[in-house]
Amino acid sequence: MASYLLIESRDPFDGGDVLQNYDLASNLKKRGNDVTLFLVQNGVVPARPCMHSERLSQLAKEEVTVLADSFSLRERAIDAGALASGVKASELDVVVDAMAAGHKTIWS
């Protein structure tokens, strides 16, 4: 079992590639890997309840860890206490720690 850190900096309202990355997270998890999806910059936009947040909640139900960068949330006036189900606010140090631990990292 490998550990993956997928970092998503884009918003699915801007293009379909983001949804493909959500599918990648799901598929990696289904293959028995440990998967964290870290949302940063505009990637945090669907962390608030909206049409795309349901997909993030589904990933969390599949046991993908879904985290939203606290700084990015604050910069976009998104309340960390009102995130979609299964999405948790987190600090950027999670990324540094995962990379230092050797997690396979994909940034998009």
| Domains within the chain, CATH numbers bracketed | 3-107 (3.40.1260.10)
Q: Is 95 exposed, middle or buried (0-12, 13-18, 19+ CB in 10 A)?
A: buried
**What are 88's two structure tokens?**
């948790």
Question: For residue 90, what are the CA distances in angstroms to 1, 15, 32, 39?
Answer: 24, 25, 24, 9
How are strands ordered across the β-sheet holding 34-39?
A: 87-90, 65-69, 34-39, 3-8, 104-107
- pLDDT (mean) for 37-66: 95
pTM confidence score: 0.95
Structure confidence by residue, pLDDT tens digits, 72-105: 999 999 999 999 999 999 999 999 999 999 999 9
Confidence of residue 26 (pLDDT cuts 50, 70, 90): very high
Confidence of residue 25 (pLDDT cuts 50, 70, 90): very high
Position 14 scores a pLDDT of 82
